[in-house]
Structure 1
Amino acid sequence: MITEQIAKDIWELHSRLFDHRPILQGHIRAFVKEFEEKRGTREEDRLNKIKTQLNDMTDKYIPETETALDTFLTNIQAKVKVAVEVCKKIEEKENNIEVGFLDLQRQRRREEWDVFMQEQFEKSAKVDQDMDIEMKKVSAEYEELEKKIEHISTATP
């Protein structure tokens, strides 16, 4: 019996010290209740405000917008078509001018390139000629040296 009483006391002490569920559940219930009460009216107010705004839009703003769009869009569409046509004409005119100008520039660059290449061919030909002349001179000098060497080697017994 005493052991049962001690066990009950220990269990009660343990539950009081370490089991916080009853306290936490009470706090949680109070918090949820308070949160729901405060939020309930706020949400209702917001929903009513949204409802009035939607009614205003459907009754007033949307019909006004539709009539304004009907009247102004036809005018805007006509003006856009005219602007597109004007832009196309300007583009065609500039393309024609640009194509002619570009063709002239291409022709001028081709002529300059042809002149440049002709000059390079002439310079290359001159360098080749000078090289041939120098090669002949060097060959002649070596032949002359070889003759002198042969003459010297045949003259000395």
Structure 2
Amino acid sequence: MSGLSPARAAATVPLVPSPKRENGYSVGQATQLIIKDVGEIHSRLLDHRPIIQGETRYFIKEFEEKRGHRELRVLENVKNSVSEINDQVLPKSTDVMQDQLGLVLKSLETANHAIHRLQQQEQETEKSNTATKIRHEKLRSQWETFMKEQEQRRLAIDEEHNKAVSRLKEQYAQMNRELSKMASF
């Protein structure tokens, strides 16, 4: 058979009745087509290797071929900037900050001292006001005592005056009677 052409080989193979045909295909052919379709669906839905390989190629092409060494240059520039900042700017900033913090600390100490002085003055004023209030209350009580004494004296003097007035009235009334007696004689 190996020396026969395919057409003759087909003619020499005994014909076996074919199984049932669906849509013009035999069951074996239909099964093979279904397996082939399932394989294609599987490869499209679940096999991501071709997509990932394509994206990987695109990524490599984008970053290595198109951009060249631009990212490397950018990173080198960033490294140089950071080195410059660490070597020059940071020490200058630290020195300026320490100088300014010294001035701020002195200002804060001065302000704190001034506030402390004001607090002491306020406390002294409060003590003085308390002492003044105490003196004022003492003077008020002395004044009230003095006014009560004066009222008592006034009442006593008024009483004495009323007694003196009534004695004088009596005396003048008696004198008047004696004069009228004398005048009637």
Q: Tell me the TM-score normalized by structure 2.
A: 0.42
Report the structure, 1 or 2, having the larger helix content. 1
Structure having the higher Rg: 2
Q: Tell me the TM-score normalized by structure 1.
A: 0.48
